[in-house]
Structure 1
């Protein structure tokens, strides 16, 4: 097993962080381009949001395949091949002739994007000692946020220079260059024990995870929180593209620098988990998200940015804890357990537009805040239940 801060730990963690970074620049690069794509293709706000939703939905579906498959054939080849296909899809998106073909390509890209997230944390669970796993997961999820920031910055900057086509080309080229580094850095697994793949066993594993209440609670927590968090960013682009702000694609891309709050939250999550319980940190993260949502109601741009930064810190704190909780609580088949967490996570993201659109249509951004608070109250209750369960186990032991 790989010990924390050893040379092997740093090499493996760097490789997986780079892979995570590449996944998320591809997933989120179109987000600052949504207002431009809406105008270019003459579609509605909800329609253009499907550029994000179809990718997250197909990503969620792919996790049901890649997670169990990785338990049978290993993790490395899945991560490498799907990253290659991800970069090629971004290049193809640059030449999509119409909105329908754009959505089809995003659906395909979302599917291959699921390869690395489905198995990366399971790879760590196989190879790392527990302290090494907790520290690595925080850094890995911090790379998620950096990838999300960079994809939006790169997409917005290139989009202002040459339109959405330039944004997709820039992201695709960056992905292929990063893949070469990832391929060389990632160590060969030494602790993985393959299992013969069968659909019957895979379904049994997934069913077993869903019947485990502490896993199901973590799945719901991650999915509902992500529904709120990621779709707030979609609707904030529409708010800031209109009067009185009228930000262009580059300016909208810069808004996603607020994700740095999430990078901080996930990076320090390992230290917080050693001081407090994971479940208590989940409660804290949801409360921080509720607070940040309130701050975004400010009419000043600086207040909106502050609120988004607070939200990002809280969300990534919860996400780091919940995903690590799943890897720790799963009784075998960690690949499918981690994959199922991400299924809930990305299905939540794909449904967010349908939940928040009526609030947006009726009350604009204050409506989005109300819709967010309703769901965050639910996740706060779930996190509180996990805390009580964990506390009861500690007392009994």
Structure 2
């Protein structure tokens, strides 16, 4: 087993973190391009958003498929082949001229991007000692966040510099292709992997068990619903800020996503906060901060919007770290499958958020969007209270 601090640990951790960075770099590259795509293809804000939501939907759909393929053919092979295919699709997308072709490529790209997130933790669990795993996972999650920020910021910069969305896909595809050989070279060959293939009956039984567990289902719903409104508020704000009186170009719209950095801070302190407050209370604190951040957006000036997004990002990642950790703490079997189901709910929420917020945006613009966000946060706050009661009920001693 690989020990923390050893040369193989450094290589594997760097390889998986860089691979994760490339996944989210490619996933979110279209986020700052939505107004530009809407103008070029003469489509609505909802339709242009499909270039992001279609990609996240493809990822959500393929997570369990990739996990099963990795069980049979090996973690390393599935991660590297799917990542290579996804990067090549960015290059292909840079040359298309029809919106339908772009959307189809993005959905397929999302499916391929699922390969690494679906299997990276399983690779670590098989190859690393427990101490090495805990240390590596923190670095890996930080790379997720940085890749998402870089995809949006770099995507906006490339589109602004060259006045073309094609430049974003070409530039990010080329950068990813240059870094890919480093991932292949660094990632050690698996030594502890044993091929396996669960029978359909076993998989159905495990899925059914997790989906009947209220402590897990509640966390899945909280993660998915929170991400549904958090991610897609950025999408609609790019349309607000690209129009009068702001008229921000794509490169400045990409900078909007630097507010995610407050979420990186929140993730890093979430463990210590949970020890002091308890996971149930911390979930509520995160949701309350998201609600406050959404209300700050109503200031309708750039300073208020940035402040709102900073507060909202901090609250979202606090709640997200808490909900994902909750799953790990309340599952007794098939842990990888339970975590994969959380990711499915998480990215499915991201895919549905554009559809949910669109009527609020059409009817009330910024105020309507904020109303839609607050309604969902009321639901997730209620779910947090419900989870706390479910946990307390299970912990009550039996009396005779």
Q: TM-score with structure 1 length normalisation?
A: 0.92
Greater Cα radius of gyration, structure 1 or 2: 2
Equivalence for 2:170: 169
Equivalence for 1:54: 54
Equivalence for 2:266: 265
Deviations 1:312-351 (A, max 9, x none): 1111222222223323433333332222111111111111
Deviations 1:92-116 (A, max 9, x none): 1100121110011011101101111
Deviation at 1:226, TM superposition (A): 0.7
CA spacing shift, 1:277–1:70, aligned 2, 3 Å: farther
Alignment check: 8 A CA contact 1:138 1:266 kept: no
CA spacing shift, 1:189–1:107, aligned 2, 3 Å: same
Q: Alignment length, in residue pairs? A: 397
CA spacing shift, 1:304–1:83, aligned 2, 3 Å: same
**Separation (CA, whole Å) in 2 of partners of 1:188 and 1:329:** 32
| Corresponding residue SS for 2:298 | coil
Question: Which stretch shifts more, 130-139 or 12-21?
Answer: 130-139
CA spacing shift, 1:127–1:284, aligned 2, 3 Å: farther
Alignment check: 8 A CA contact 1:121 1:327 kept: no
Alignment check: 8 A CA contact 1:71 1:333 kept: no
Equivalence for 1:186: 187
Deviation at 1:127, TM superposition (A): 4.8
Deviations 1:134-161 (A, max 9, x none): 5544443332221111101111111112
Structure 1: state its 5+ residue gaps. none
Deviation at 1:31, TM superposition (A): 1.0
Equivalence for 1:302: 303
| Corresponding residue SS for 1:297 | helix
**Separation (CA, whole Å) in 2 of partners of 1:70 and 1:201:** 17
Asked if 1:30 corresponds to 2:25, the answer is no
Equivalence for 1:208: 209
Q: Which has the higher contact order (CA 8 A, sep 6+)?
A: 1
| Corresponding residue SS for 1:268 | helix
**Separation (CA, whole Å) in 1 of partners of 2:216 and 2:52:** 27
Equivalence for 2:153: 153
Deviation at 1:387, TM superposition (A): 3.1
Deviation at 1:381, TM superposition (A): 1.7
Alignment check: 8 A CA contact 1:121 1:338 kept: no
Equivalence for 1:40: 40
Alignment check: 8 A CA contact 2:161 2:251 kept: no
Question: Which stretch shifts more, 248-257 or 15-24?
Answer: 15-24
Equivalence for 1:385: 386
Alignment check: 8 A CA contact 1:158 1:170 kept: yes
